[in-house]
Amino acid sequence: MAEYRLVFNGPIITQSANALRHRVAFILEQADFESLTLVFSTSGGSTQDGINLYSFLRALPIRVHGHAAGHVGSIGIPAFLGAHYRTMSRFSRFFFHPYDWTFPHANVLTERIEEANIHLGSDRDLSRQIVQTNSNLQADFLDRIYGAAASTVILSADEALAAGLVQEITELNDRGAQQRNVKTWTVGW
């Protein structure tokens, strides 16, 4: 039996989210599958795709281990919180900042701006609920990162542990030893 480590490093966009879901489904079908660790690093991306990844991880028929390796930011935080057990490397961090919206073209109708504002507000509220449910962060801190006047906040590994975003600070292979029952795959898109 083998532990599978699936490395996700890059933006959360529709293509990368679909690739992650496809790779996870393929791993679950492997005859030697025993457990899944999602090694996660992202600066964020699409709020819709990030929230969808959270729900996907929570819907799997297995217990997912998430490991923050490097920088986990923006909508990547709610997506990462989809893992049931969460760890992070000592030199990793969580990066909260106000959400924004990118329009694919220069000319935008007023109705589309209003629609984007409603969509972004809803995704911000859902993100807040996900973080609140999966941490012990207090309401004043949640207001600071998800409120109308949200500000940028970076949490170190120790701060993330104290906040309940992770359950442990650890390295997956601190000594560089051969790990014979571990298979590492990446997500490509």
Domain ranges of the chain: 2-186
The pLDDT profile of the chain, 189 residues, written as one tens digit per residue, is 999 999 999 999 999 999 999 999 999 999 999 999 999 999 999 999 999 999 999 999 999 999 999 999 999 999 999 999 999 999 999 999 998 878 777 777 888 788 888 888 899 999 999 999 999 999 999 999 999 888 999 999 999 999 999 999 999 999 999 999 999 999 988
Q: Does domain 2-186 have CATH number 3.90.226.10?
A: yes
Task: Dump the DSSP string for 65-106.
Answer: EEEEEEEEETTHHHHHTTSSEEEE-TT-EEEE-------SSS
State the CB neighbour count (10 A cutoff) for residue 149.
7
Residue 135, classed as helix, strand or coil, is coil
